[in-house]
Structure 1
């Protein structure tokens, strides 16, 4: 398994369970779930924007 997948899953669970505190309340779980979706979407948007800061490699150049 790729370490990034494990880290993303762990951080998502951390945000979710820190919001709910393990409560079985449906409304609280729904609020936590939408919070996690916004957190994950925001992280992906930042990563997408940072991709444009990476150096470009010429097409004919090999490492």
Structure 2
């Protein structure tokens, strides 16, 4: 028996996960907030890499 068959035969199914999410609506909210923070940080870091050449040329 490997890990894949142990995961598929026993443990929590997708329905159990959905029941937990319905019981505690804060979990999807926390996941969405964390994803938004990660996206904001990636976009902010990306904007810091690109130099603004217009100020370098026209100064």
Runs in 1 of length 4+ with deviation above 6 angstroms?
none
> Counterpart of 1:36?
32
> Counterpart of 2:22?
25
Determine which structure has greater relative contact order: mean sequence separation of CA pairs < 8 Å that are 6+ residues apart, divided by chain length: 1
Between Structure 1 and Structure 2, the one with more helix by share is: 2
Counterpart of 1:25 in 2: which secondary structure? helix
TM-score by length of 1: 0.48
Aligned-CA RMSD value: 2.7
TM-score by length of 2: 0.50
Report deviation, 1:54. Answer: 1.1
Segments of structure 2 that go 5 or more residues without pairing to the other structure are: 1-16
Segments of structure 1 that go 5 or more residues without pairing to the other structure are: 1-19
